[in-house]
Amino acid sequence: MSSVRPAPPSPASSAPPRARPRPRRLGPGDRVFLAVLIGIPLIALLVFVWLPALASVGLSFTSWDGIALSDIHWTGLGNYQEIFTNYPPFWPAVRHNVVWLLFTALLPTPFGIFLAYQLDRKIRFTRIYQTAIFLPMVLSLAVVGFIWEIIYNPDNGLLNGVLNGVAPGHHIDWLGDPDLNLWAVLVASAWRHTGYIMILYLAGLKGFDPALKEAAALDGANGRQTFLRVVFPALKPVNIIILVVTVMESLRAFDIVYVLGGGVGSKPGMELLSLLITDNIIGESSHIGYGSALAVVLLLVSLAAIGTFLFQNFRKEDQ
Amino acid sequence: MTLSRTPSPASGPGRRGVVRGALGIGAAALAAPVLTACGGGPSADPKTVTFGSNGADATPKSAYAAVTSAFTKESGLTVKTNTVDHDTFQKSISTYLQGTPDDVFTWFAGYRMQYFAKKGLAHPVDDVWEKIGAGFSDAAKQLSRGLDGKYYFVPLYNYPWAVFYRKSLFQERGYEEPRTWSEFTALAKRMKKDGLSPIASGYGGGDSWSILGAFDYLNLRANGYDFHMSLMRGEVAWTDPRTVRTLDLWRELSPYYQQGAGGRSWQDAAQSLLDKKSGMAVIGLFLGQQITDEKLREDIDFFAFPEIDPSFGQDTVEAPTDGFMLSRRPKNLDAANRLLEFLGSAKAENLYMGVDPSNVAVNSQADTGSYNALQKKSAELIAEAKHITQFGDRDSDPGFISTVVLPGLTQWLGHPDDGSALLKTIESQRSRFFTA
């Protein structure tokens, strides 16, 4: 296998430095143009992203019911202390987020890659399969929730109907049983996620240089070896995207749980950090400070996960 | 690294134009909400009053339309109705009231009304009550006052919670309406033996609130009105032995609950009662909205939740009251007051009940002649009650109920134990909601 391992140097990284120095002066028109070009997105970013984020961090040290500004009271780290020591759904939510991440990373993501690899092999009706697998991602979430509610309905749902045919008398409460409902929702989520990963990976595979595969075949590599040792390492940029997407989707998982939980916030067995945030912020008697503290916790976890990964990757690439 | 890494070649002369164009669109998109915010505010037309309604379902929507068009005919004032889905309305109520709310809006009596009155997000309606006061009982007046003693609320209708059943099923099987707890559990046991689900139950999805009917009644019957209200207002500990007793009673009842309730909607549970698969249901009169066949409606009956402690008897009825409030700075106060006055009149209530027969008018001068049997019986039940409660999530902080009590109770109901862990969990969160 030694002949295939070192990837050929890519043309981009070995390109010679530009000979011609860049023009240094910009005309006044160019300056205005650039200022506007950079300024507007920058202001939008500051106002719509950074300001709310920083305000959330600030509010997380206060207690506020969200009504009169004069009611904001400074509580220091009180909210955080409450959350970590005296908030029953918090640790289950953390556990469920971890389960979500592991499940998504270990089952639907590899399965999506597997499907993409199979579909790339020019089998018949590949377009139809692609469309069918990607379809869940196209459907609006309300529809997805509705579909799975019908499947999981305890009385006249598809699953219990089939179960009753095979073994009568069994009555499984898929979405109501706190030990079961997280897995039921994870299956629904995997159904969407697989299609997403498949389309991302398929896009990568379409741009893959077939010469590498041919070389591997000439060297006598079988299909599995070709994929694991040639294709997969060569598609590193796509792999990174998929990993980041998987991690982010797992940490911010919200919509499908919210819809299948009936749209009323967290339910026993299905608590997630994102749902706890809305539990505390949306509604009649909101606890903005408390919810913000939860949001900050989720922000830190997300930053840590994504930051570590990206940092390591870019450092490797620089070398 | 074979993936296209080479920088794409410059796309030629038109590039700047394209960027500029895109930029223009982007800037316009950013500016759009600001501009509409400036120009889109409703003008204060003296002939118009705005009305925010949560009655988005077909029946209440047409009932409100009938009422407002009658008002327009009578007063010459136009009502601009802004209808929002019931759950969305509740969820966004704080933002709605702080923004540019409609002059008059639909809301609930009790703690939830008092909360917004206390926060200064509602305008008192004492002037209106001077004119409509004669039509209402003391209990209704009590429900319409804020903590400061002023009126903030004009009631329209209420509906009782009770134990509903089908008369024909009871006749076929020879069941009798139970009056006491032991008769009730004995009946449930018998139904189970007969192959029925004794108590229809569905608290899946967004319907977990429906279990509070049983909790409230058990607590009211076992511990009385005063204790229940203090518990709801966060004034006593949830670990109180009296609450433990309520859960003990509930545990006694839980084997008779319909199976798979945690994933079923209340509508499906109600349907199982109508289909005679379940024997009874602890539910409100809104059960009637599930009925499409009028013959079936005649076959539905109810009895008051059975007595547990004889010293409390069946003295309390849970009868949530819906009505109207006035927003803090109504654009057209005079017209809004006139609308509220009309809404509080017997005439408006007759119009409303004419379209939506699953409620009972609060105004005692309203015409009860056109009531169906269920409505008549409901009105009697409410009129005879010594105390009227609203409902778990209306008598208490709704956030406390929806994020602490309901998740706890539904989980417990799946595997009922002595409840000490559950009550400790609820108690640990109480101070967070009831100190401010």
Chains A, B: CB contacts within 8 A come to 161
A132-167 per-position pLDDT tens digit: 888 888 888 778 888 998 899 888 888 888 888 777
The domain total for chain A is: 1
Rounded to an integer, the average pLDDT of A72-91 is 91
What number is the average pLDDT over the span A302-315?
81
| Two tokens, residue A287 | 């606890």
* Mean pLDDT of all residues belonging to chain A: 85
d(Cα B245, Cα B242) in Å, to the nearest integer?
5
Q: How many Å lie between the alpha carbon of A88 and the closest alpha carbon of chain B?
A: 7
* B3/A204 touch (CB, cutoff 8 Å), yes or no: yes
Q: What gap in Å lies between CA B379 and CA A188, rounded to an integer?
A: 46
Cβ within 8 Å, pair B94-A67? yes
Q: B119, A175: Cβ pair inside 8 Å?
A: no
Q: Is residue A42 part of a domain?
A: no
Is the separation of the CB atoms in B63 and B357 below 8 Å? no
- C-alpha closest to that of B317 among B388, B420, B390: B388
* Cα Rg of chain B, angstroms: 26
Give the DSSP per-residue string, B45-106: -TTEEEEEE---SHHHHHHHHHHHHHHHHHH--EEEEEE--HHHHHHTHHHHHHSS--SEEE
Say whether A269 and B411 touch across the interface (CB within 8 A). Answer: yes
Give residue A244's domain range. 74-318
Distance CA B11, CA B25 (A): 20
Is the domain B161-318+397-434 a CATH 3.40.190.10 member? Answer: yes
Query: In the structure, what pLDDT confidence band is assigned to residue A13 with cuts at 50, 70 and 90?
Result: very low
Can you name the residues that pair with B49 across neighbouring β-strands?
B79
Does some domain include residue A19?
Answer: no
Domain boundaries, chain B: 48-158+321-378, 161-318+397-434
Q: Do B208 and A262 touch (CB under 8 A)?
A: yes
What average pLDDT does this structure show over A302-311?
Answer: 82
Name the residue facing A262 among B20, B94, B205 (closest C-beta): B205
Query: Per mean pLDDT, which range of B65-69, B265-269, B289-293 is the poorest?
Result: B289-293
Q: Is B137 touching A (CB cutoff 8 A)? A: no
Tokens of B28: 């316009």
The answer to whether residue A166 sits within a structural domain is yes
Whether A12 and B91 lie within 8 Å, measured CB to CB: no
> What stretches of A139-254 show up as alpha helix (H) in DSSP?
141-152, 158-166, 181-206, 210-218, 223-225, 232-234, 236-251
What is the mean pLDDT of the segment spanning B173-196? Answer: 95
Q: B429 falls in which pLDDT band (50, 70, 90)?
A: very high
Q: Do B115 and A284 lie within an 8 Å CB cutoff?
A: yes
Each residue of B59-95: pLDDT tens digit? 889 999 999 999 999 998 999 999 998 888 888 888 8
Q: For residue B341, what pLDDT is reported?
A: 94
Are the beta carbons of B142 and B153 closer than 8 angstroms?
no
Band the pLDDT of B24: cuts 50, 70, 90: low
3-class secondary-structure state, position A172: coil
Residue pLDDT, tens place only, B329-351: 999 999 999 999 999 999 999 99
In angstroms, the separation between the Cα of residue B342 and the nearest Cα of chain A is 28
* The two three-digit tokens of residue A264, written as one number: 């009323």
Minimal Cβ distance to A154: which of B2, B260, B414: B260
A262 vs chain B: nearest CA distance in angstroms? 4
* Residue B5, pLDDT above cutoff 60: no
**Interface mutation vs chain B, best among A285, A290, A316, most B CBs within 10 Å:** A285
**How many CB atoms lie under 10 A from the CB of residue B69?**
13
Q: Is B1 in contact with A268 (Cβ distance < 8 A)?
A: no
Whole-prediction pTM value?
Answer: 0.82
**CA dist., res. A79 & res. A52, Å (int):** 19
Return all residues near A46 (Cβ < 8 A) that are at least 6 apart.
none
Of all residues in chain A, the one with the smallest CA distance to B268 is A155
CATH code assigned at A233:
1.10.3720.10
The string over B250-278, giving b where at least 16 C-beta atoms fall within 10 Å of a residue's C-beta and e elsewhere, is: beebbebbbebbbbbbbebbbbbbbeebb
- Contact in structure between B274 and B257 (CB atoms under 8 Å): no
| Count of positions (residues) in chain B | 436
Interface probe with B: pick from A264, A270, A290, A294, most Cβ of B within 10 Å = A264
The residue behind tokens 């010594």 is B386
H helices of B176-302, in order, are: 181-193, 212-232, 241-253, 266-274, 294-298
Judge whether residue B262 has pLDDT over 90. no
Contact flag A267-B410 (C-beta cutoff 8 Å): yes
Mean pLDDT, chain B, integer: 87
CATH 3.40.50.720 fits B48-158+321-378, yes or no: no
Tell me the three state secondary structure of residue B302: strand
Which residues 254-313 on chain B approach chain A with CB closer than 8 angstroms? Answer: 259-264, 268, 272
Written as six digits, the tokens of A32 are: 């205005």
In chain B, which residue's Cα lies nearest the Cα of A233? B1
B204 in contact with A at a CB cutoff of 8 Å?
yes
Query: A40-49: long-range contacts at Cβ-Cβ below 8 A with a sequence spacing of 24 or more?
Result: A40/B23, A40/B26, A40/B27, A40/B30, A41/B26, A44/B30
Nearest-by-CA chain B residue for A261: B205
Q: What is the pLDDT of residues A44-59, one digit of tens each?
A: 999 999 999 999 999 9
Is A33 contained in some domain?
A: no
In a domain, A68, yes or no: no
Q: ipTM of this model?
A: 0.77
Element (H, E) at B179: none
**Strand bridging mode B161-166 / B278-284:** antiparallel
